[in-house]
């Protein structure tokens, strides 16, 4: 149960028997080895660009991936530690369903976005980033926009909507983030983060871990999205930056004897040096360092979500995630909810077709767009 509570920053549920593997192009037969090689973003998005926005400290550069040229914009916001590439397979599916444009962006300090102050991950700052990127893309007359956010990105989507940073907002879709569950998870989140591998020998190794650990249950999505979660260790082994980036966030339990403590420290240092020589990839985002912002992302989220004056869709991996405020709001018809079983926390990666179907139906029902000609819903 404790492990299931760690869902609101990062997917961590163990794989279920019979879990969906949509999009995997491999037929697993006896003795067949699964392919964990990375896939390019260009297989799923039409374009990639960097968007410059002015800030007090200078220019920030946000990486975005896009598809489509007409219809409402689907602005996709990823979860903590993930990147815009987590939406890759979903983008190819939703784009085949409805008339729309897709813009998936790397949030600050994530993916390939480069900002002057990457340590500021407050909800207020990240919500303002969204507004600035939209303004940079479309000027003072942006097209109709539907914001879809997963986990942390869902929380930022709500804060963005409430602050009216996107004046042309059509609707809001939040994927698998609920205030009650998220707040319960925060106390033990650090322990979960420490349980993850600190480094990987290759990108393929990272992809394999993400699938076998259940973080991403769709092999195809893992192959394109994990490249946005990890980075290559380019520094030399003598550089202090490498051992810090690999070793920080690991907290050992206190030992009773000073001798044992010194021995542990020496062993850890030797292990880090050895791993630095052998390991080539580590996490892009040290989620343990973002702890001071977690409360601000999630506290009060349910009431904020309910006050957003646009049509709202909540997609969950399990009905147990609903807290009291959302249960009452759902009974009052303040938002539409759909539960997608047999998914982990990364619902849009595990079951991109189901998420696309739910979102497409929602948008067509509200007359935001139409199904593409020839698509049979």
The enclosing domain of 135 has a CATH number of 3.40.50.1820
Q: State the CB neighbour count (10 A cutoff) for residue 371.
A: 15
- Selected catalytic residue, list 60, 345, 348, 350: 345
Is residue 180 situated within a structural domain?
Answer: yes
Q: What is the pLDDT of residue 177?
A: 92
Is residue 273 situated within a structural domain?
Answer: no
Rounded to whole angstroms, the Cα distance separating 314 from 337 reads 5
Rounded to whole angstroms, the Cα distance separating 312 from 171 reads 6
Q: Is 151 a catalytic residue?
A: yes
- Selected catalytic residue, list 60, 112, 176, 325: 176
pLDDT along the chain (377 residues), means of 10: 42 33 41 87 98 90 97 98 98 97 98 96 97 96 97 97 97 94 85 92 96 95 98 58 32 38 52 55 94 95 96 90 87 94 93 98 97 79
Is residue 117 situated within a structural domain?
Answer: yes
Is residue 202 situated within a structural domain?
Answer: no
The pairing of beta strand 58-67 with beta strand 47-55: antiparallel
Q: What is the pLDDT of residue 251?
A: 30
- Selected catalytic residue, list 151, 210, 213, 279: 151
What's this model's pTM, rounded to 2 decimal places? 0.83
Q: What is the pLDDT of residue 234?
A: 67
- Grouping H, G, I as helix, E, B as strand and the rest as coil, residue 262 is helix
Q: Is 82 a catalytic residue?
A: no
Helix (H) or strand (E) holding 331: helix 324-331
Is residue 24 situated within a structural domain?
Answer: no
Q: What is the pLDDT of residue 56?
A: 80
Q: Is 92 a catalytic residue?
A: no
Is residue 259 situated within a structural domain?
Answer: no
Please tell me the total count of domains within the chain.
Answer: 1
Which residues neighbour 33 within 8 Å (Cβ) at sequence distance 6 or greater? none
The half-sphere exposure of 144 on its side-chain side, counting CA atoms within 13 A, is: 14
Instruction: Determine the structural domain holding residue 156 and report its residue range.
Output: 41-188+291-366
In contact, 348 and 84? CB cutoff 8 Å: no
Rounded to whole angstroms, the Cα distance separating 8 from 182 reads 5
Rounded to whole angstroms, the Cα distance separating 113 from 147 reads 19
Is residue 337 situated within a structural domain?
Answer: yes
Is residue 269 situated within a structural domain?
Answer: no
């Amino acid at each position: 149960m404790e492990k299931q509570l760690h869902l609101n920053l990062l997917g961590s549920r163990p794989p279920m028997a019979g879990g969906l593997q949509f999009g995997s192009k491999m037929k697993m037969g006896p003795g067949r080895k699964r392919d964990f090689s990375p896939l390019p973003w260009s297989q799923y998005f039409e374009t990639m660009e960097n968007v410059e926005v002015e800030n007090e400290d200078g220019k920030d550069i946000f990486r975005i991936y896009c598809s489509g040229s007409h219809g409402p914009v689907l602005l996709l916001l990823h979860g903590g530690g993930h990147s815009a590439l987590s939406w890759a397979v979903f983008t190819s599916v939703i784009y085949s369903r409805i008339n729309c444009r897709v813009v998936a962006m790397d949030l600050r300090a994530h993916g390939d976005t480069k900002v002057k102050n990457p340590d500021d991950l407050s909800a207020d700052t990240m919500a303002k980033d969204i507004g600035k990127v939209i303004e940079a893309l479309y000027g003072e007359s942006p097209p109709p926009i539907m914001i879809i956010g997963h986990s942390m990105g869902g929380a930022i989507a709500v804060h963005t909507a409430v602050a009216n940073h996107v004046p042309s907002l059509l609707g809001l879709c939040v994927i698998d983030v609920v205030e009650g569950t998220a707040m319960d998870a925060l106390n033990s989140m650090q322990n979960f983060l420490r349980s993850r591998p600190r480094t990987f020998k290759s990108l393929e190794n990272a992809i394999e871990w993400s699938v076998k650990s259940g973080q991403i249950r769709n092999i195809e999505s893992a192959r394109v999205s994990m490249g946005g979660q990890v980075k290559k260790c380019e520094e030399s082994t003598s550089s202090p930056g490498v051992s810090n980036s690999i070793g920080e966030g690991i907290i050992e339990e206190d030992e009773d004897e000073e001798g044992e403590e010194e021995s542990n420290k020496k062993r850890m240092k030797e292990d880090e040096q050895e791993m630095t020589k052998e390991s080539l990839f580590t996490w892009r985002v040290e989620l343990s360092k973002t702890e001071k912002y977690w409360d601000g992302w999630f506290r009060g989220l349910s009431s904020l979500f309910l006050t957003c004056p646009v049509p709202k869709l909540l997609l969950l991996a399990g009905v147990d995630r609903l807290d009291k405020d959302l249960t009452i709001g759902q009974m009052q018809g303040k938002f539409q909810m759909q539960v997608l079983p047999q998914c982990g926390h990364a619902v849009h990666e595990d079951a991109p077709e189901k998420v696309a179907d739910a979102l497409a139906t929602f948008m067509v029902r509200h007359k935001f767009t139409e199904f593409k000609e020839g698509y049979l819903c």
